Structure 1
Amino acid sequence: MAASPLEPLDPASLPPRVDVSDNAAALAAVQAVVDAGPYSATWESLGAYEPPRWYRDAKFGIFVHWGIPSVPAQGEWYSRTMYLEADGAFAHHRETYGPHDEFGYKDFIPSFTMERYDPAEWAELFRRAGAQFVVPVAEHHDGFTMYDTARSRWSATQMGPRRDVFGDLMTAVDDTWMVRGASSHRAEHWFFMNGGMRFDSDVRDARFSDFYGPAQREETAPNELFLEDWLLRTVEIIDRYRPQVLWFDWWLEQPAFEPYIRQLAAYYYNRGHEWGRGVVINYKWTAFAEGSAVYDIERGAMSGIRPDVWQNDTSVGKTSWGWIEDHDYKTLDDLVGELVDVVAKNGNLLLNIGPKADGTIAEPERALLEGIGDWLTVNGEAIFGSRPWLIPGEGPTEVVAGSMIDDGFAPFTSADVRFTTRTDVTGDYVYAVVLRWPEDGVATIRSWGRGSGLLGHRIAELTVLGAGAVEWSQDVDALRVTLPETAPSEVGVIVKVWLAPEPVPARKDFLHG
């Protein structure tokens, strides 16, 4: 077996354990906030929740998966897969680092140094990308917190970089006028590293049981102690950092979490009310009752317009959320297409990047963020603060509804169009986002032909974002726009229509150009 190329963790250097068994006083404090209202811990009360205006307008946020997995750089699930004997990560670990009882997952912590981490530079990059909110992972499935916690010694403040990584980024987010968010993947820690209990590994070592967690079977429901700890860790993030977005992963849909979810939601919404801040919970599948929080689809899409605001969380990489050496990256065309498709269907896009262990963001990921920012600089008025139009779009490319589908999207064509709209003091506007530049230089928008009747009003003015007024014609079949010789932005083109205030008379034929 190979000797590890990294320095393992010295058990003698560990801080003392934290006792989390007596939670009575902390739980009573949580209940006091719930009792104070205005929300109570019932689905009926939580159903009165309304997502805040800032979130409906935001459209685009940045997700950050960063932690210990960036050291082995084999994916964000390495803490699980390295202990699964049938997984390729198991053999990779033994060949690269040695036996699991001699070098386990915990032994990557000393090499998680992030010596080049510059949270202010990150925040400036995210802002240039057009992000309105930032959601770093506060704790992933591995149980290592990136924030300053009083409930565990296994945190970035006490090991590895020995700094409040999460808090430092939140301060930088404030400084650049974006909105704070946080994601918690703690629920899955109940079972996540249970593979290490099936053979001789450091997961079995009692000295590290507070890190490796219960490591129980997936078939078993989490017990009260674990559920209380989940609740109180989440409350700690809320109170210490005041995030306005709180994102949860999938395992919360387990029935045992249900009463704790209701209590947590009431607590968070009441805290938001106390702060005078609009807050958002993102959930997957059926973890929350409809209308009590914001529905999130992982790497997915809707087939049509959802009446309530929703979110698609996805990543710049097709196969991994965290840093790996051989990323299969999406293209700028892919990402702009996802953003536009989501926004046209009343959603927000939460786009993930995965920094390296030294704290740097890889150049391909930086380039994609800068590219999105450049595109939004020209076309942002069709995105930010917009609302869905009568229909989400037109064109031949089918977008299949569901989750985990974004690596199979067919490329959009110049016949694929998405629509958004906005109303302000100057009037009503509709935008057609043509997702690829037409080879013949003419954008054809069939839903805006006179025969469709969808526009409903005469066109008072038509422009191309980034280029100004252009020639156009409208007949029964379509509206056709002669585009400028030079594309205003790198992906597709956006046609903006200012609608005249009076509706089109029923039997009069109008042709403008």
Structure 2
Amino acid sequence: MTGPFSPLDPNSLPAPVDVSDNSAALAEVRAVIEAGPYSATWESLRNYEPPRWYVDAKLGIFIHWGVYSVPAFHNEWYSRNMYLEASPDFAHHRETFGEHRDFGYKDFIPHFTMHDFDPHEWAALFKRAGAQFVVPVAEHHDGFAMYETQRSRWNAAAIGPRRDVFGDLTDAVDQAWMVPGASSHRAEHWFFMNGGSRFDSDVRDPAYADFYGPAQREEVAPNERFLEDWLLRTVEIVDKYRPQVLWFDWWLEQPAFEPYRLMLAAYYYNRAVEWGREVVINYKWDAFAEGSAVYDIERGTMGGIRPAVWQNDTAVSKTSWSWIEDHEYKTVDTLVAELADTVSKNGLLLLNVGPKPDGTIPDAEQRVLEGLGDWLVRNGEAIYGTRPWRVAQEGPTQPVVGSFVDADSPAYESSDIRFTTRHDVTGDYLYAILLAEPEDGVARVRALGTGAGLLDRGIREVSVLGAAGPVAWEQTSPELIVTLPARSPLAGGPVIKLFLEDAVVAPRQDFLHG
């Protein structure tokens, strides 16, 4: 082994936790389900409605931070890939840290120091970025819990930093008047470390089976003990920290999880009723029935407006969710476009950052968040609390639709526009968000021309967010033409605001009789 890394001292570990008998804990879960308004059936769970606070929020912060941040190589899947013999991660690990039997993934834990971690500084940064809720990873696929758990000795409060990191951050987020959430990637741990069982590595060592296990094959459905443990770990997070967003990764859609998904959702929704709080479950693919939770797309977008609210989880980096040395970061322009595109289609953006193992957020990521926040200070009324218009978009540049497509984010032009609407006590407003600044200082919006047939009423006033004074504009048949006034320079495109005339309401027929 080379470098300053030394292996974990086995004598520093707490004693293993016995979680073999789950009968009493499961009985408590069933009691909560039986006592509440939601039962563990899709029919009952379809009575769920996403809360207004969430639908209005539009922007949240996701945080991938864990032991994988220490090797900081390739991505957050290092704990799996380092044991796959054909992978670059395997070769890198052997060359950098030595043989896997002598220095395995567990040996990074003592070096996860987070000695400069200040949760209140993080919360302040996220608030400046414009986030309304924050979703830290409570446990990733690697099986190391970032929260204080009674179900495993492998957690940040017991070893490594010896601090309830998740709890400290949850408190800081709450004190900053943002909504705390949690993500669980525990489901994938069933198979995640299985590469290490195929050769001489520490995954084979019985002393560490409670960390690396089950390390089973992907083709094998998880057994009842693992499924019960997944449920009870998640219940523990729910009861201990009361997150109002609960995000799950993809493997949860495996058929074996279905009865446990149902139990968890009913339990969580019933607990929220007890707390007097409104909560959200985010899911991927087909893990939950339509209408029972909020659908999430990873690093992607919809082709148009989705009637039900949805979420796009993406990252400030194209290359990894967690901290690595050679990130390819997105620009503020790109993130503004992603946010506007998502919101125009009835979605929210959950934007990830990847802190360093010392507990600091990289400067480049801070700058991107600050830049997004600056744009939202000026233009946030076109985002927060808005709803989709009749059409989401216009322009020549078509975004790639689907999941895992943000690495191919196009370069937008000023003729690429996204639309949102707002209704409040003062009237009805329509926003046209240009995804780039026009070089000639003139915005042209085809959907708002009289010939488009999309506006059902007249325009009282046109303004540009962040600009003082009157704005010159003209509505022609082909387009609405707006001369953009001078504004202070800012990344991200300008926003045109239309104050609309009152809608014409047809008289009731029973009032038309003499």
Q: How high is the TM-score relative to the length of structure 1?
A: 0.97
Contact 1:458 1:503 (8 Å CA) reproduced: no
Query: Alpha-carbon deviations, 1:450-492, whole Å to 9, x = none?
Result: 0012111111111000004310001100000000133563211
| 2:492 match | 491
| 1:446 match | 446
SS in 2 for 1:457: coil
Contact 1:185 1:249 (8 Å CA) reproduced: yes
| 2:281 match | 281
> How far did residue 37 of structure 1 move?
1.6
SS in 2 for 1:388: strand
Residue identity over aligned pairs, in percent, reads: 70
Task: Give runs of aligned pairs for residues 307-346 of structure 1, distance below 5 A.
Answer: 307-346=307-346
CA–CA distance in 1 between the matches of 2:126 and 2:256? 37
CA–CA distance in 1 between the matches of 2:442 and 2:391? 22
Q: Which amino acid aligns with 1:54?
A: W
CA–CA distance in 1 between the matches of 2:148 and 2:11? 21
SS in 1 for 2:501: strand
Contact 1:299 1:403 (8 Å CA) reproduced: yes
Query: Alpha-carbon deviations, 1:394-424, whole Å to 9, x = none?
Result: 0011112210000002111100000000000
Q: Which amino acid aligns with 1:474?
A: Q
> How far did residue 3 of structure 1 move?
3.7
Whether 1:226 and 2:226 are equivalent positions in the alignment is yes
Whether 1:463 and 2:469 are equivalent positions in the alignment is no
| 2:502 match | 501
| 1:509 match | none
CA–CA distance in 1 between the matches of 2:488 and 2:494? 7
SS in 2 for 1:56: helix
SS in 2 for 1:134: strand
| 1:272 match | 272
SS in 2 for 1:269: helix
Query: Alpha-carbon deviations, 1:349-399, whole Å to 9, x = none?
Result: 000000000000000000000001100000000000000011001001111
CA–CA distance in 1 between the matches of 2:6 and 2:161? 15
Task: Give runs of aligned pairs for residues 68-217 of structure 1, distance below 5 A.
Answer: 68-74=67-73, 75-217=75-217
| 2:483 match | 482
Contact 2:444 2:479 (8 Å CA) reproduced: yes
Please report the RMSD computed on the Cα atoms of aligned residues, expressed in angstroms. Answer: 1.1
SS in 1 for 2:323: coil
| 2:28 match | 29
| 2:354 match | 354
CA–CA distance in 2 between the matches of 1:251 and 1:312? 18
| 1:510 match | none
CA–CA distance in 1 between the matches of 2:487 and 2:175? 37
Contact 1:320 1:327 (8 Å CA) reproduced: yes
Relative distance call for 1:57 and 1:502 in structure 2 (3 A) is closer
Query: Alpha-carbon deviations, 1:58-95, whole Å to 9, x = none?
Result: 00000000000111001210000000000000010000
| 1:433 match | 433
SS in 2 for 1:127: helix
Contact 1:467 1:488 (8 Å CA) reproduced: no
Whether 1:53 and 2:59 are equivalent positions in the alignment is no
CA–CA distance in 1 between the matches of 2:487 and 2:292? 47
CA–CA distance in 2 between the matches of 1:245 and 1:152? 23
CA–CA distance in 2 between the matches of 1:378 and 1:130? 11
Mean CA deviation greater in 4-13 or 107-116: 4-13
Task: Give runs of aligned pairs for residues 419-430 of structure 1, distance below 5 A.
Answer: 419-430=419-430
Q: Which amino acid aligns with 2:497?
A: K
CA–CA distance in 2 between the matches of 1:131 and 1:3? 41
Q: Which amino acid aligns with 1:86?
A: A
Task: Give runs of aligned pairs for residues 239-258 of structure 1, distance below 5 A.
Answer: 239-258=239-258
Task: Give runs of aligned pairs for residues 10-25 of structure 1, distance below 5 A.
Answer: 10-25=9-24
SS in 1 for 2:458: strand
Consecutive unaligned residues in structure 1, runs of 5 or more: 506-513
Q: Which amino acid aligns with 1:440?
A: D
Contact 2:147 2:167 (8 Å CA) reproduced: yes
| 1:417 match | 417
| 2:389 match | 389
SS in 2 for 1:496: strand
Contact 1:378 1:488 (8 Å CA) reproduced: no
Consecutive unaligned residues in structure 2, runs of 5 or more: 507-514
> How far did residue 204 of structure 1 move?
0.2
CA–CA distance in 2 between the matches of 1:317 and 1:452? 38
Contact 1:456 1:504 (8 Å CA) reproduced: no
| 1:402 match | 402
SS in 1 for 2:246: strand
| 2:64 match | 65
Contact 1:450 1:478 (8 Å CA) reproduced: yes
SS in 1 for 2:496: strand
SS in 1 for 2:450: coil
Q: Which amino acid aligns with 1:208?
A: Y
SS in 2 for 1:413: coil
Contact 1:112 1:161 (8 Å CA) reproduced: yes
Q: Which amino acid aligns with 1:55?
A: Y
> How far did residue 5 of structure 1 move?
2.8
> How far did residue 502 of structure 1 move?
4.5
Q: Which amino acid aligns with 2:24?
A: A
Contact 1:397 1:413 (8 Å CA) reproduced: yes
Relative distance call for 1:107 and 1:377 in structure 2 (3 A) is same
SS in 2 for 1:103: coil
Q: How high is the TM-score relative to the length of structure 2?
A: 0.97
Query: Alpha-carbon deviations, 1:153-195, whole Å to 9, x = none?
Result: 0000011110000000001001100001000000000000000
Contact 2:400 2:408 (8 Å CA) reproduced: no
Relative distance call for 1:77 and 1:240 in structure 2 (3 A) is same
SS in 2 for 1:451: helix
CA–CA distance in 2 between the matches of 1:284 and 1:324? 26
The number of equivalent residue pairs is 504
Relative distance call for 1:151 and 1:502 in structure 2 (3 A) is closer
Contact 2:83 2:195 (8 Å CA) reproduced: yes
SS in 2 for 1:138: strand
| 2:511 match | none
> How far did residue 130 of structure 1 move?
0.4
Q: Which amino acid aligns with 2:234?
A: T
